[in-house]
Structure 1
Amino acid sequence: MRTATRVSGAPKAWDGAQVRKWLASRLEAARLDQVVADKQGYSAQDDYDKAAAEEWVCAALRIAASKDDQAALADRLKDLLGQEDYPVSGIYDDRRFERYVRANLRKLARMTKTGEGFENTLRFQ
């Protein structure tokens, strides 16, 4: 028996529960990465800022993701990308942090558009 395959380029069906699970796992991984980077000291400040940016993005998207609406999440991502700054304390370099926030937001915008990538909940991606 032949199974239907998805046409490449066509968006995957939206799974709000999977998106929430992915955000929660990335939030936890980012927090763990910050602890590790903090223990390593000065040489890992970049890693700390990168993990802090991922934590900030995941936390900022949790409410929009709870609505099980792909369009609402996409709108929230667009709003966040339109912001000029991302206020947070405890980071080492504001410009580097903001660059990582924007990179994470663009990655999530692509994932939200296609609906793919949320199945990978491994800590290291």
Structure 2
Amino acid sequence: MTTAAKPWDAALVRIWLDRRIAAARLDQAAADRRGYDCRDDYDQAAAEEWACRALNDAAWTDEQAAFAGRIKELIGRDSYQATGLYDDIRFERHVRAYLRKLAKMTKANEGFDKTLRHQ
């Protein structure tokens, strides 16, 4: 007894990415207000925003295979450029971890319906 896989919903994925970008901005602002001890939180939120921005394009989100291919391409990069970070190496590690999370979500086609700020 297997259930049919859900069809890819490009609009839902774009909404999810937009909401994750907004949540990452709020997380960056909160980490910035908390100060020196929360530098890693800031870099992690910046990595989430960077990854979602890199994927938030209709060319990538229209088809599941194209979205997965774009994620794979981004994971394969040597470096990720961003400004205002505390630690570039930590930022790159967070970007790759977040992209791997997105790759798993894309492969299973689940999790994009969870649009609350905290996940």
Shorter-normalised TM range: over 0.9
Q: Which runs of 5+ in 2 are unaligned?
A: none
Q: 1:28: how far off?
A: 0.2
Report whether the alignment pairs 1:75 with 2:69. Answer: yes
Give the one of 18, 23, 34 matched to 2:28: 34
How many matched pairs? 119
Q: How does 1:1-125 map to 2 (within 5 A)?
A: 6=3, 11-63=5-57, 67-125=61-119
Structure 1 CA distance, aligned partners of 2:81 and 2:61?
25
Q: Is the 8 A contact 2:105 2:112 kept in 1?
A: yes
Match of 1:50, as an amino acid? Q
Give the alignment's TM-score, normalised by structure 2. 0.93
Higher Cα radius of gyration: 1
Q: CA RMSD in A?
A: 1.7
Q: Which runs of 5+ in 1 are unaligned?
A: none
Structure 1 CA distance, aligned partners of 2:17 and 2:59?
9
